[in-house]
Amino acid sequence: MKDRIVIQVDEDLEAIMPRYLEIRQKELAELEEAVDQKNFETIRLLGHRLKGTGSSYGLDELTRLGTLIEDKAMDEDMSEVPEHTAGLRYFLEHLDIEYVEITE
């Protein structure tokens, strides 16, 4: 399928990844509402959660976007937050997870 973002993650995460992504979808809705209301504390908190969990699940893009969102919210600077939030929505809506055996 065109325009899909395929990420390979450790097969050990297969059982918990759907719930993790479900929570991120709910938080995305909260983030979009917080952006509309210019609620910097909620924006900061949700960005912080993304930053803190994304890479642990093999989703470095979530960590990257969470960092950008959190940093802007800490400065109470709304510039770029709507764009980063839209990027988050795009990523989550176009994400396909491929579970693979990761050996180290």
What is the domain count for the chain?
1
Rounded to two decimals, what is the model's pTM?
0.93
Q: What is the reported pLDDT for 102?
A: 84
Burial 3-38 (b: 16+ CB within 10 A, else e): eeeeeebeeebeeebeeebeebeebbeebbebbeee
pLDDT tens digits, one per residue of 22-73: 999 999 999 999 999 999 999 999 999 999 999 999 999 999 999 999 999 9
C-alpha distances (whole Å) from 28 to each of 24, 45, 99 are 6, 12, 24
What is the residue range of 69's domain?
5-100
Q: Whose structure tokens read 């709507």? A: 82
Residue 78: give its domain's CATH number: 1.20.120.160
